[in-house]
């Protein structure tokens, strides 16, 4: 071994021997989290004041969980999945089937769908994550469609209900007592708040830094001794679990499984929410979920079915002119009011190439950095 | 074969035997032999297209050699994935500086420290990488060492090319490698920056780190190198201490009048 | 399993692959030259199919055949000049997002204008009916209508929908025309060179941006042809665009992104896989086997994709920017 350098003293420091690490959550963090928790828990009240209805709050919370998990993948690693409906829908079907055939209790249903989604996520990750972002987008779309086709097929129809979806589910209960709409809302909210705390901790953790570096330069990361594929899988699986949780809760909220849950439109919706809200900001996609569902609810009352068209146009406009979404808008507004903004924009989506692609592009001088 | 480097007894850390590589009919590397003593600075020079970068890429596992063996510290590197190779204590500086553009300087270096501390994959959630965290502090140290103390929190993409090169060096050093591979580290640098880089690399050599440097700038090569291998058209045409290589007629011919500093 | 049913499965396979082949070719052309992944390509097909219905109802089908591809060519150029060109320098994610958004807008627009249901796309009189493939020595009664086509392999005679045969022929002609254009014209040469190395082309002073617009227009035109002839087959309703895009993407991926020949081969492979699984499923006697085969029929293209990608991760002929 080469001679011991004075690094070893600092090395001890790094290992955390006898050193106090900074606290996980600062005071500012706690303030943000408390405000967030209050906003979520009081949603049924202020949503009604804005023209919504109570049950919509639960729906928003569920989609917020979905979008939050999606942002962990897209916002941190830059991988754009068009197949997250596969996790949402699979969890929904497993939960539904459990409620129908196994027990009306939500715990076994959720546990079962947790396991199934984990397996599906691992399989899908292995098949799709070794490639560049473009392949990944296409393949995730394709495999989600496969799940959708399977569920509709005449072979599985007797289990899945085919076109009509899965009906006849028992009303969900917990420990024997039937769950009221209010209880469902509070369960979902608690999970969203926990999920948000987890996401924030994740982003600031060493794991979070590794994930963010994937989006920046996979080759550099690999050549710093990091197993990039393993980290990609980690992000993908975490993201899938959020989606699965949302899907499970969806069926608990409304005991019916629509085939739409596996359709590409569901994948598309979470993409739209995240982009509109602001990719990479964590809170942005949550807001995006609220915005989209509120939009659907309120605007539909005015212009009927065309709300989707309008939303699509808004989405395209945001991609063209404001890729950072509403979060960026918020930042600009804050700046305009004289506030100080952190100079970095985390939330402009980018797509990582594979290590191979990066290497070739760099060899061709494609990715020139600024020269002086 | 024990030799002395800087007065210390030393053993070969890298042995390359008979490595060949074909690219679609073109022989990029022709039976290359290379022995690098631990703790030394070994330069690889040669005219453009000689295969220097290819050799480096083969060493690091980016490309697989068609023939021959590569032994690093007694182990073979064949068939290992890049991150596994790096974890054995090798670091690589690229021709165009490879850094993480939208991350801060501190974050850039922190990644290397974490890769060393936690290995190729580990789930560390219950730590907040904020100022005060030992990894963050150590990253700042490394940045100071290469002269980038002023811009710690700014984004790496805003750096000049010379500074990006320095950042990349800090990144590599933070991994505390036994062997550092440098691909034209002073390319595109001003005379001032080049001298600073030479000083930095000389300073590091006293720490026992082995370096393989591909270079065009002869001033750099002759200031730094303990031994030089000369590559031309994929084959080693000369090898030895700087004085011998400088006077070697084959080398002068290969460069065809290219000025030496 | 008679020789006739196998023959039918072969021809059906060709037909099923045909639409995918056309869409995938357009996708590959655009991706190979412009480097843009066009999630709106299914929407182009959708526009074409609806346009074909409208033109056909007002002016007759013959004019639809001529006008719709031209309309789509113009739409393609407008799309490229109006939107896509601003995204060349933007990250791939943004390109995908904007074309995806466009696809949604187009689908919703169609839903608004034409309604959510299938609108009928009547076949022209000369295109409806059956053709007859007859084998050696077969005697076909005079009374049976339909174009007779000699086919030595067939035992007796078999029917096949005339329109579907036409679709196959049109696809082949389009592909051949495209290949010819790319191989033998100067424009084609520029496109092929651009697919290999757009930077070099710029250095040579070639007006690449103008070429890009035309290439995009071409891709749209091919989707236009697909829409006119494929519309009656795939039905005309808003979800059809995306429903076709997914398998077409898979075809491109299986064939290898950037390879036209790969896309064609993959389309053929997919078409045949679909056709044969459907055929065997229909013919299966054992109910369990039938069940399995029917399920397989739904997912066979995904299974093919998985198998190909596991064996050859780059796709069959995957090499970015290489034409053949």
The ranges assigned to domains in chain A are 23-340+348-353
End-to-end alpha-carbon separation of chain C, Å?
36
Compare CB distances from C299 to A146, A271, A308 and report the shortest one's residue: A146
Chain A neighbours, 3+ Cβ pairs < 8 A: B, C
Compare CB distances from C253 to A78, A135, A364 and report the shortest one's residue: A135
**pLDDT per residue as tens digits for the range C182-196:** 888 888 887 777 766
Give the pLDDT band (50/70/90) at residue C160. Answer: confident
Give the pLDDT band (50/70/90) at residue B8. Answer: low
Q: Is a pLDDT exceeding 80 seen at residue C277?
A: yes
Mutate to test the interface with A, among C281, C298, C309 (most CBs of A within 10 A): C298
Instruction: Decide: B239 and B252 in contact? Cβ < 8 Å.
Output: no
Tell whether B82 and B102 lie within a shared domain: no
In our burial notation (b when 16+ CB lie closer than 10 A, e otherwise), range B44-59 reads bbbeeebbbbbbbbbb
Between chains, do A142 and C246 touch, taking CB under 8 Å as contact?
A: yes
Q: What is the pLDDT of residue C235?
A: 86
* Alpha-carbon gap, residue B88 to B176, rounded angstroms: 11
- CA A231 to chain B, closest CA, distance in angstroms equals 7
Roughly what angle, to the nearest 10 degrees, separates helices C92-114 and A264-277? Answer: 120
Q: What is the number of structural domains in chain B?
A: 2
- CA A204 to chain C, closest CA, distance in angstroms equals 24
- CA A355 to chain B, closest CA, distance in angstroms equals 10
Q: Which residue has the higher pLDDT, C75 or A363?
A: C75
* Alpha-carbon gap, residue C245 to C197, rounded angstroms: 27
CA dihedral B216, B220, B224, B228 (to 10 degrees): 20
* Alpha-carbon gap, residue A292 to B152, rounded angstroms: 39
- Residues of C with Cβ-Cβ distance to A154 under 8 angstroms: 291, 294-295
Give the pLDDT band (50/70/90) at residue A27. Answer: confident
Q: What is the pLDDT of residue A367?
A: 41
Compare CB distances from B127 to A21, A370, A372 and report the shortest one's residue: A21
Give the pLDDT band (50/70/90) at residue C321. Answer: very low
Q: What is the pLDDT of residue B206?
A: 65
- Residue A125 makes CB contacts below 8 A (sequence gap 6+) with A232, A233, A236, A237, A240
* Alpha-carbon gap, residue C122 to C232, rounded angstroms: 7
Compare CB distances from A213 to B111, B160, B164 and report the shortest one's residue: B111
* Alpha-carbon gap, residue A322 to C245, rounded angstroms: 27
Tell whether B169 and B128 lie within a shared domain: yes
Q: What is the pLDDT of residue C309?
A: 81
Q: What is the pLDDT of residue A343?
A: 44
Residue B255 lies in a domain: yes
Give the pLDDT band (50/70/90) at residue B4. Answer: low
Compare CB distances from A316 to C96, C105, C297 and report the shortest one's residue: C105
- Residues of A with Cβ-Cβ distance to C112 under 8 angstroms: 305-306, 309
Tokens of C99: 């074309």
Tell whether B103 and B171 lie within a shared domain: yes
- CA C105 to chain A, closest CA, distance in angstroms equals 5
Give the pLDDT band (50/70/90) at residue A359. Answer: low
CATH number, domain A23-340+348-353: 1.10.3470
**pLDDT per residue as tens digits for the range A175-228:** 878 888 888 999 999 999 999 999 999 999 999 999 999 999 999 999 999 999
Q: What is the pLDDT of residue B1?
A: 45
- Residues of A with Cβ-Cβ distance to C253 under 8 angstroms: 135, 138-139, 142
Question: Which structural domain range is residue C54 located in?
Answer: 3-241
Q: Is a pLDDT exceeding 90 seen at residue B219?
A: no
Residue C278 lies in a domain: no
- Residues of A with Cβ-Cβ distance to C291 under 8 angstroms: 154-155
- The highest-confidence range among A199-208, A298-307, B65-74, by mean pLDDT, is A199-208
What is the overall mean pLDDT for chain C? 86
Q: Which residue has the higher pLDDT, C247 or A176?
A: C247
What is the overall mean pLDDT for chain A? 84
Between chains, do A222 and B83 touch, taking CB under 8 Å as contact?
A: yes
Across the beta sheet with B179-183, the strand order is: B90-93, B179-183, B210-214, B41-45, B227-232, B235-240
- CA B70 to chain A, closest CA, distance in angstroms equals 18
Question: Which structural domain range is residue B160 located in?
Answer: 94-176
* Alpha-carbon gap, residue A91 to A110, rounded angstroms: 8
Q: What is the pLDDT of residue C217?
A: 94
Residue C259 lies in a domain: no
Q: Is a pLDDT exceeding 60 seen at residue B261?
A: no
CATH number at residue B128: 3.40.50.300
Q: Is a pLDDT exceeding 50 seen at residue A346?
A: no
**pLDDT per residue as tens digits for the range B112-134:** 999 999 989 989 888 888 888 89
Q: What is the pLDDT of residue A48?
A: 84
Tell whether B10 and B84 lie within a shared domain: yes
Give the pLDDT band (50/70/90) at residue A360. Answer: low
Compare CB distances from B134 to A13, A230, A343 and report the shortest one's residue: A13
Between chains, do A320 and C111 touch, taking CB under 8 Å as contact?
A: no
Question: Within 13 Å and on the Cβ side, how many CA atoms surround C255?
Answer: 31
Residue B84 lies in a domain: yes
- The highest-confidence range among A57-71, A295-309, C140-154, by mean pLDDT, is A57-71
The complex's ipTM works out to 0.88
Q: What is the number of structural domains in chain C?
A: 1
**pLDDT per residue as tens digits for the range B136-148:** 999 998 888 888 8
Q: Tell whether A359 is within 8 A of chain C (Cβ).
A: no
* Alpha-carbon gap, residue A260 to A253, rounded angstroms: 16
**pLDDT per residue as tens digits for the range A230-264:** 999 999 999 999 999 999 999 999 988 998 999 99
Instruction: Decide: A73 and A235 in contact? Cβ < 8 Å.
Output: yes
Residue C281 lies in a domain: no
Q: What is the pLDDT of residue B6?
A: 53
Give the mean model confidence (pLDDT) for residues C43-51: 95
What are the distances in angstroms from CA C103 to CA A167, A309, B249, C42, C242?
32, 11, 67, 7, 8
Tell whether B27 and B6 lie within a shared domain: yes
Q: What is the pLDDT of residue A235?
A: 97
Contact between chain B and chain C (3 or more Cβ pairs less than 8 Å apart): no
Residue B48 lies in a domain: yes
Q: What is the pLDDT of residue A348?
A: 43
Q: What is the pLDDT of residue A149?
A: 87
**pLDDT per residue as tens digits for the range A29-48:** 899 999 999 999 998 888 88
Nearest to C245 by CA among C301, C309, C307: C301
* Alpha-carbon gap, residue C34 to A163, rounded angstroms: 39
Q: Residue C152, Cβ neighbours under 10 Å: how many?
A: 8
- The DSSP letter of residue C89 is T
Nearest Cα residue in chain A from B116: A225
Q: Is a pLDDT exceeding 60 seen at residue C312?
A: yes
Tell whether B220 and B240 lie within a shared domain: yes
Give the mean model confidence (pLDDT) for residues B236-255: 81
Mutate to test the interface with C, among A81, A280, A316, A360 (most CBs of C within 10 A): A316
Between chains, do C104 and A312 touch, taking CB under 8 Å as contact?
A: yes
Of the listed ranges A87-96, A171-180, A333-342, the least confidently predicted one is A333-342
Handedness of CA C292, C294, C299, C301 (dihedral sign): positive
- Residues of A with Cβ-Cβ distance to B77 under 8 angstroms: none
Give the mean model confidence (pLDDT) for residues B54-81: 82
Handedness of CA A122, A126, A132, A136 (dihedral sign): negative
pTM above 0.90, yes or no: no
Residue C292 lies in a domain: no
Q: What is the pLDDT of residue A9?
A: 43
Question: How much of chain B, in percent, has pLDDT values that exceed 70?
Answer: 92
């Amino acid at each position: 071994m080469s001679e011991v350098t004075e690094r070893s003293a600092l090395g001890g420091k790094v290992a955390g021997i006898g050193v106090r690490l900074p606290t996980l959550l600062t005071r500012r963090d706690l303030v943000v989290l408390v405000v967030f928790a209050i906003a979520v828990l009081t949603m049924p009240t202020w949503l009604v004041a804005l023209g919504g209805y109570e049950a919509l709050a639960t729906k928003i919370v569920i989609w917020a969980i979905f979008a939050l998990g999606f942002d962990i993948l897209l916002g941190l690693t830059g991988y754009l999945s068009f197949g997250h409906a596969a996790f949402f829908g699979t969890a929904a079907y497993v939960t539904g089937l459990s409620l129908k055939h196994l027990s009306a209790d939500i715990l076994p249903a959720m546990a079962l769908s947790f396991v199934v989604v984990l397996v599906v996520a691992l399989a899908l990750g292995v098949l799709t994550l070794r490639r560049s972002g473009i392949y990944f987008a296409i393949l995730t779309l394709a495999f989600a469609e496969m799940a959708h086709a399977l569920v509709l097929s005449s072979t599985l129809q007797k289990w899945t209900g085919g076109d009509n979806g899965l009906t006849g589910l028992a009303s969900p209960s917990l420990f024997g007592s039937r769950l009221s709409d209010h209880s469902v809302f509070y369960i979902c909210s608690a999970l969203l708040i926990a999920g948000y705390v987890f996401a924030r901790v994740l982003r600031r953790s060493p794991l979070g830094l590794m994930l963010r570096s994937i989006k920046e330069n996979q080759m550099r990361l690999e050549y710093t001794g990091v197993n990039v594929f393993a980290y990609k899988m980690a992000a993908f699986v975490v993201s899938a679990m959020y989606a699965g949780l949302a899907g499970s809760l969806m069926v608990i909220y409304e005991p019916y499984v629509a085939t739409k849950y596996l359709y590409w439109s569901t994948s598309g919706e979470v993409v739209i929410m995240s982009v509109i809200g602001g990719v990479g900001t964590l809170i942005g996609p949550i807001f995006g979920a609220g915005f989209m569902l509120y939009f659907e609810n309120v605007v539909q009352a005015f212009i009927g079915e065309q709300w989707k068209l309008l939303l699509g146009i808004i989405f395209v406009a945001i991609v063209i002119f404001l890729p950072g979404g509403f979060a960026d808008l918020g930042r600009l507004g804050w700046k305009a009011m004289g506030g100080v903004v952190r100079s970095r924009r985390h939330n402009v989506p980018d797509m990582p190439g594979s290590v191979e692609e990066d290497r070739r592009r760099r060899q061709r001088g494609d990715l020139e950095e600024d020269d002086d | 074969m024990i030799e002395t480097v800087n007065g210390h007894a030393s053993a070969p850390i890298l042995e390359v035997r008979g490595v060949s590589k074909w690219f679609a009919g073109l022989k990029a590397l022709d039976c290359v032999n290379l022995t690098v003593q631990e703790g030394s600075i070994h330069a690889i020079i040669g005219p453009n297209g000689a295969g220097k970068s290819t050799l480096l890429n083969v060493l690091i596992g980016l490309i697989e050699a068609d023939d021959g063996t590569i032994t690093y510290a007694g182990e073979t590197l064949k068939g290992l994935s890049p991150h596994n190779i790096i974890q054995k204590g090798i670091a690589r500086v690229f021709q165009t500086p490879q850094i993480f553009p939208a991350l801060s300087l501190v974050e850039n270096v922190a990644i290397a420290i974490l890769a060393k501390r936690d290995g190729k994959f580990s789930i560390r959630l219950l730590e907040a990488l904020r100022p005060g965290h030992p990894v963050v502090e150590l990253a700042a140290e490394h940045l100071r060492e290469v002269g980038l103390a002023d811009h710690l929190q700014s984004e790496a993409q805003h750096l000049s090319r010379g500074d990006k090169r320095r950042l990349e060096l800090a990144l590599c050093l933070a991994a505390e490698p036994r062997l550092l591979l440098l691909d034209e580290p002073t390319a595109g640098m001003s005379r001032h920056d080049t001298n600073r880089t030479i000083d930095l690399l000389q300073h590091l050599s006293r720490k026992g780190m082995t370096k393989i440097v591909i270079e065009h700038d002869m001033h750099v090569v002759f200031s730094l190198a303990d031994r030089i291998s000369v590559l031309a058209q994929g084959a080693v045409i000369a090898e030895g201490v700087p004085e011998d290589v400088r006077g070697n007629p084959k080398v002068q011919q290969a460069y065809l009048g290219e000025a030496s500093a | 399993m008679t020789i006739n049913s196998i023959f039918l499965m072969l021809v059906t396979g060709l037909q099923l692959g045909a639409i995918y082949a056309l869409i995938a070719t357009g996708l590959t052309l655009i991706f190979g030259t412009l480097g843009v992944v066009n999630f709106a390509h299914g929407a182009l097909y959708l526009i074409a199919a609806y346009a074909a219905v409208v033109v056909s109802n007002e002016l007759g089908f013959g004019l639809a055949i001529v006008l719709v591809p031209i309309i789509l060519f113009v739409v393609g150029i407008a799309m490229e000049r109006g939107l896509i060109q601003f995204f060349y320098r933007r990250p791939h994610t943004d390109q995908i997002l904007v074309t995806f958004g466009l696809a949604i807008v187009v689908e919703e627009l169609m839903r608004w204008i034409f309604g959510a249901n299938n609108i009928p796309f009547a076949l022209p009189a000369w295109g409806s009916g059956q053709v007859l493939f007859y084998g050696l020595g077969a005697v076909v009664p005079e009374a049976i209508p339909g174009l007779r086509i000699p086919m030595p392999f067939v035992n007796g005679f078999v029917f096949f929908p005339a329109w579907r045969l036409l679709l196959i022929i049109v696809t082949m002609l389009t592909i051949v025309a495209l290949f010819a254009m790319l191989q033998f014209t100067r424009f084609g040469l520029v496109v092929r060179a651009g697919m290999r190395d757009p930077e070099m082309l710029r250095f040579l002073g070639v007006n690449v941006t103008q070429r890009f617009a035309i290439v995009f227009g071409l891709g749209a035109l091919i989707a236009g042809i697909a829409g006119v002839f494929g519309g009656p087959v795939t039905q005309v309703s808003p979800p059809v665009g995306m429903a076709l895009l997914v398998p077409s993407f898979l075809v491109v991926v299986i064939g290898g992104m950037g390879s036209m020949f790969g896309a064609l081969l993959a389309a053929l492979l997919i078409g045949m896989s679909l056709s044969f699984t459907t055929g065997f499923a229909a013919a299966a006697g054992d109910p369990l086997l039938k069940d399995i085969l029917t399920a397989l029929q739904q997912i066979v293209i995904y299974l093919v994709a998985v198998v190909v990608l596991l064996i050859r991760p780059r796709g069959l002929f995957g090499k970015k920017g290489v034409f053949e």
